Amino acid sequence: MKSNSHTENKNIPLKKIEKCLKGTRFNEIKRIEETGSTNADLVLRASEAPDDIVLVTDHQTDGKGRLGRVWESPKGLNLLCSFLLTPKWAKDKNPLVTSALALGVVDYLSTIGVSALVKWPNDIVIPERDNKKISGILAEQVEGEVERIVVGIGFNISWPTSSQEGPLDAISLKMLGATFDRWTVLAGIIENFEKQLKLLEELNGAALLRRSLIAHSATIGNQVRVETANNIIVGFAKDLTEEGFLVVNDGNQDLQVNAGDVVNLRKKI
């Protein structure tokens, strides 16, 4: 695994990475010291900020996770950022923005020697460490005169430092023995996210992303338990649709799930 020796420089980090925006759709990286939630901030700004931008913070006091959960992270240790996007694709591809970011993160991690997979729908996990979660993604669609999408990512860089800290299923780059500063990771993620968004824009973008998601899935091929808002499904996770739905065969029929929590019951071999 590669490592870099940068210690974080509080004064110049953004200047250092702003050049990574060249050739991407993002015009600016804004950094704020503390906020409630970078996703909530961008949702509020969506109607007035015409550009696609990146908002990064050192600390969130009300970080939002999927399904109404809280995303916790101590100040200054992990990457907490959100992207404000103007879709350049058909509306039915909007849910795939989460997948594009997830695949961008997996691709970035592979460039630093970390093998990661996507646990449906949007967790980035480390298969060699019992599928512990290194990153989570939350996307929100903002309706208005111009439709916008806000997609946020929490990425564990320096916290937790051991399995005694943080959520039980969490892991960080530091726990994997990699020392990276937040700005280097952010630059790598932006670059790889942009590549995936360009794929999404292609006519067969949904098919391309589906293929890549299946190839990098920690879920497909496993016996799973899926907890949805009003149901529990136990069965074989056999496929993903181009809309990003999980297809589970419960022994009788194929069921398509669009949201839920997955527990892997038996791993694929």
- Interface residues with ligand BTN (CB under 6 A) are 37-39, 60, 63-66, 69, 71, 80-82, 123, 136-138, 152-154
Of 69 and 267, nearer to ligand BTN (C-beta) is: 69
To ligand BTN, the closest distance from the beta carbon of 251 in angstroms equals 29
To ligand BTN, the closest distance from the beta carbon of 120 in angstroms equals 12
Of 150 and 224, nearer to ligand BTN (C-beta) is: 150
To ligand BTN, the closest distance from the beta carbon of 154 in angstroms equals 3
Of 68 and 251, nearer to ligand BTN (C-beta) is: 68
Those residues whose C-beta lies under 8 Å from the C-beta of residue 201, and which sit 6 or more positions away, are 88, 89
Distances (CA, A) of 80 to 161, 174, 183, 217: 17, 16, 11, 24
Residue with the shortest CB distance to ligand BTN: 136
Preceding omega of 121 cis (within 30 degrees of 0): yes
Of 71 and 120, nearer to ligand BTN (C-beta) is: 71
Beta carbons of 109 and 49 less than 8 angstroms apart? no
Selection from 2, 268, 267 nearest residue 114 by Cα? 2
Other Cβ atoms less than 10 A from the Cβ of 33: the count is 9
To ligand BTN, the closest distance from the beta carbon of 213 in angstroms equals 16
Beta carbons of 76 and 157 less than 8 angstroms apart? no
